[in-house]
Structure 1
Amino acid sequence: MANIPLNLGNLTAVLGTQWGDEGKGKLIDILSEEFELVVRAAGGANAGHTIYLRDPVSPTTSKKFVFHLVPSGMLHKACVCLIGNGVVLHLPTLFEEIELLEKNNISTNGRILIADRTHLLFDYHKEIDAVQEERKGDKKVGTTKRGIGPCYMDKTSRMGIRIHELLNFAKFTAKYRQNLATLKDLYGEITYDTEKELSELKILAEKIKPMLVDGAHYLHTAYKNGRKILVEGANGSMLDVDHGTYPYVTSSNPTIGGISVGTGLPGRAFTSLVGIMKAYVTRVGSGPFPTELKDQLGEDIRQKGGEFGATTGRPRRCGWYDSVIGKYAVMLNGLTDINLTKLDVLTGLPTLKIATAYKYNDEILPSVPADLDIMENMEIEYIEMQGWTENIGDIRSFENLPQNAKNYVLKIEELIGCKISSIGVGMERDAMIFR
């Protein structure tokens, strides 16, 4: 796909606006054709970005790629990809993804860089994640158990280990063992093969040497030299540790503040901020979900949309589009554009609903409430819209969409106060409408 009709400027960020799984990977893959650098800003292997690449020999089939750590621009040979300092990095997982790319004849040589301030995630973080979740009993958050929270805990408690420390392996090993002893005092015996992990890391320490850069300096230099940079967000705004449905959130800031901190790029430098949102809403794990469909319709949407976690395979909860959280995400992030994804999944539904307001004690709430008791007990106000039956998977022009589909898109745009500049109508890379 070429000649993308979006004027995004030289520094663009793509962010999730719901509870993650909005389809960020696909748009990042498409936009990467227009950019020289693609940067991952935050999160870890708890995020899975899925891209379907149509087979040039057999156009009716597609190759599926799921990236957990490698930035989604890797499928474009001209792109250099940088893992930013805001990421918590499990090195063995990264090199598994690199190996998979090489097996598919996608060269990574010189194309993957890592900010030297990036914190390392170890197997003991995964063990602790499982212990913490088990101790919560029926108050489980529903984490991916990939060790993300415990790694960020180490970072903020100033006992984290950054990737540059691997270059002095003896000193690194001493700190690793000291941390492990401290954590065992807190969590009891952590049962995994520490010597195996250290042996593997010693091998990987040599491999990462040519990949390390001073992330912020590298990006600022690239920006000043006029190189086009695309920053890839992970998770979604409603999972933000500060602004999301706390405590049922991730351990980082998927909003614009986390993008700046996780790269070293100042917020005022961004020329475009693109929010990704599904034409309906999904959520994995526990936590409030105002528009959730707990009936057969919710299951039908799950099956038709393939709503199963890219990281865990868990079924996603599905519900109607929620313009309250849509407007909230636009406000939090200062979004300039919206990419509305999976519009095709709604084809065939006779009636569609859009949540327009939250009501509690007979009063309309001004925004998303912090109090989860309110969120669990508030009333949802909806509008109903007529659906469409026509297949829209091959449509590439907004004007050619069925009128009811256009009405649905335009109503969402009106409610959230941000232009919907692109619309996903299928899995493949080229199944996108730009307007």
Structure 2
Amino acid sequence: AHVITHYHRTIDKVTERFLGKRQIGTTGRGIGPTYADKINRVGIRIQDIFDENILRQKVEAALDQKNHLLVKVFNRRAIDADEVVESLLSFADRLRPMVADTGLEIHRALERGETVLFEAGQATMLDVDHGTYPFVTSSSATAGGAATGSGIGPGKLERIIGIVKAYTTRVGAGPFPTELFDESGEFLRANGFEFGTTTGRPRRCGWYDAPIARYTARVNGVTDFVLTKLDVLTGLSTIPVCVAYEVDGVRVDEVPVNQSDFHHAKPVYEEFPGWTEDITGARTFEDLPKNARDYVLAVEAMSGARISAIGVGPGRDAIVVRHDLLGAS
């Protein structure tokens, strides 16, 4: 595990501002620069905090280059290595009991027959390899990242559960073919309370994008989708779903592999009738109104994997389960 330091956050913010109109839309929390240091092999790891001499050497080596960047390129003051070291050392006692060989712990849990759940913190289109680069996070947010991040072999992953909203959202810059700039977008944002978890930024909202769902199913090996926030669509007379794109006058049925084509992709919509009934009390698929059921079945047929559960409200129990998510596939 790598440590986000004060200088990572500083460089994140000044670099993003420096980009101007080409900003990526980072959170400013120092995530990208920390991953960059990891790949450049000048990162600070948790274990370094427990050895002051090694920590000091590594911080000084990292700041040798970064202070030149801050002072000469961004006209900022240099960061003092001693301040960084003292700050990191102050966490040592608190962190020591939390640090273990987690790969071994997980392996032993699996050997005991326990259920282990890995949770991704970002979406597929933000994956550094398979997302809308460069408008992505700095890590592997797809299912394969569970193996590399945990130290567990990929053969141990039995179920891959994809979480997909009944519409589409995004925080930060990057291509978004179904993005809405009208009252429909405001409807989704207001009803779905679409504001960034980390930053509180208003999320960009758009209609369900079936090609992206199929791409997600393929890249992750999704066995089950959980369709969330179906209740947010209640009250719409018709609900458009993106079934393909038009790129330079040509219909394209899958997410374009070329980034420029994806930027210029225009959605091809199919419209489905909406519903007005309150669905937040539904607990079985049959409880949903026919138009809601038809919508779920339609997007399921387009999305590359079965929809095993449906979120119908903000409560933990506001869910319709169609297939067991923890049992055998």
TM-score where L is the length of structure 2: 0.92
Q: Tell whether 2:10 aligns with 1:127.
A: yes
Give the corresponding residue for 1:109: none
Q: Flag the structure with more relative contact order, 1 or 2, with Cα contacts below 8 A and sequence separation at least 6.
A: 1
How many residue pairs are counted as aligned between the two chains? Answer: 318
Give the corresponding residue for 1:181: 64
- Is 302-311 or 221-230 further displaced after alignment? 221-230
Q: Unaligned 5+ residue runs, structure 2?
A: 323-329
How far, CA to CA, are the matches of 2:48 and 2:166 in structure 1?
44
Give the corresponding residue for 1:332: 219
Q: Determine helix, strand or coil for the equivalent of 1:119.
A: coil
- Is 226-235 or 375-384 further displaced after alignment? 375-384
Q: Determine helix, strand or coil for the equivalent of 1:277.
A: strand
Q: After TM superposition, give the deviation of residue 192 of structure 1 in Å.
A: 6.4
Q: Tell whether 2:230 aligns with 1:230.
A: no
Q: After TM superposition, give the deviation of residue 405 of structure 1 in Å.
A: 0.5
Q: Determine helix, strand or coil for the equivalent of 1:358.
A: strand
Give the corresponding residue for 1:382: 269
* Aligned match for 1:155, one of 38, 44, 56: 38
Matched to 2:27, the amino acid is T
Give the corresponding residue for 1:16: none
Rg larger in 1 or in 2? 2
Q: After TM superposition, give the deviation of residue 359 of structure 1 in Å.
A: 2.2
Q: After TM superposition, give the deviation of residue 290 of structure 1 in Å.
A: 0.3
The answer to whether the Cα contact below 8 Å between 2:59 and 2:84 also exists between their aligned partners in 1 is no
Matched to 2:18, the amino acid is R
How far, CA to CA, are the matches of 1:332 and 1:190 in structure 2?
44
The answer to whether the Cα contact below 8 Å between 1:128 and 1:190 also exists between their aligned partners in 2 is no
Q: After TM superposition, give the deviation of residue 196 of structure 1 in Å.
A: 5.2
Q: Determine helix, strand or coil for the equivalent of 2:104.
A: helix
Q: Following superposition of structure 1 onto structure 2, how do residues 355-366 of structure 1 map, counting pairs within 5 Å? A: 355-366=242-253
- Is 169-178 or 140-149 further displaced after alignment? 169-178
Q: Determine helix, strand or coil for the equivalent of 1:335.
A: coil
Q: Following superposition of structure 1 onto structure 2, how do residues 268-283 of structure 1 map, counting pairs within 5 Å? A: 268-283=155-170
Q: Determine helix, strand or coil for the equivalent of 1:364.
A: strand
How far, CA to CA, are the matches of 2:177 and 2:314 in structure 1?
27
* Aligned match for 1:289, one of 144, 168, 176: 176
- Is 355-364 or 330-339 further displaced after alignment? 355-364
* Aligned match for 1:216, one of 83, 103, 106: 103
Q: Determine helix, strand or coil for the equivalent of 2:256.
A: coil
Q: Determine helix, strand or coil for the equivalent of 1:136.
A: helix
Q: After TM superposition, give the deviation of residue 193 of structure 1 in Å.
A: 7.3
Identity, % of aligned positions = 45
Q: After TM superposition, give the deviation of residue 308 of structure 1 in Å.
A: 0.6
Q: After TM superposition, give the deviation of residue 197 of structure 1 in Å.
A: 4.7
More helix per residue: 2
More strand per residue: 1
Superimposed CA distance per residue, residues 72-96 of structure 1 (whole angstroms, 9 cap, x where no aligned partner): xxxxxxxxxxxxxxxxxxxxxxxxx
Superimposed CA distance per residue, residues 22-57 of structure 1 (whole angstroms, 9 cap, x where no aligned partner): xxxxxxxxxxxxxxxxxxxxxxxxxxxxxxxxxxxx
The answer to whether the Cα contact below 8 Å between 1:119 and 1:155 also exists between their aligned partners in 2 is yes
Q: Determine helix, strand or coil for the equivalent of 1:294.
A: coil
* Aligned match for 1:170, one of 53, 69, 75: 53
Matched to 1:124, the amino acid is Y
Give the corresponding residue for 2:91: 204
Q: After TM superposition, give the deviation of residue 379 of structure 1 in Å.
A: 2.8
The answer to whether the Cα contact below 8 Å between 2:243 and 2:269 also exists between their aligned partners in 1 is yes
How far, CA to CA, are the matches of 1:339 and 1:193 in structure 2?
48
* Aligned match for 1:430, one of 301, 317, 326: 317
CA distance change for structure 1 residues 298 and 194 in 2, over 3 Å: closer, same or farther? farther
Q: After TM superposition, give the deviation of residue 209 of structure 1 in Å.
A: 1.3
Q: After TM superposition, give the deviation of residue 177 of structure 1 in Å.
A: 2.6
Q: After TM superposition, give the deviation of residue 356 of structure 1 in Å.
A: 0.4
Q: Determine helix, strand or coil for the equivalent of 2:118.
A: strand
Q: Determine helix, strand or coil for the equivalent of 1:338.
A: strand
Q: Determine helix, strand or coil for the equivalent of 1:308.
A: coil
Q: After TM superposition, give the deviation of residue 154 of structure 1 in Å.
A: 0.1
Give the corresponding residue for 2:325: none
Matched to 1:359, the amino acid is E
How far, CA to CA, are the matches of 2:255 and 2:70 in structure 1?
35
Q: Unaligned 5+ residue runs, structure 1?
A: 1-117
Q: After TM superposition, give the deviation of residue 194 of structure 1 in Å.
A: 6.0
Superimposed CA distance per residue, residues 346-370 of structure 1 (whole angstroms, 9 cap, x where no aligned partner): 0000000100011224433252123
Give the corresponding residue for 2:327: none
Q: Determine helix, strand or coil for the equivalent of 1:132.
A: helix
How far, CA to CA, are the matches of 1:224 and 1:165 in structure 2?
31
The answer to whether the Cα contact below 8 Å between 2:50 and 2:89 also exists between their aligned partners in 1 is no
How far, CA to CA, are the matches of 2:298 and 2:235 in structure 1?
19
How far, CA to CA, are the matches of 2:130 and 2:151 in structure 1?
21
Q: Tell whether 2:251 aligns with 1:368.
A: no
How far, CA to CA, are the matches of 1:257 and 1:201 in structure 2?
31
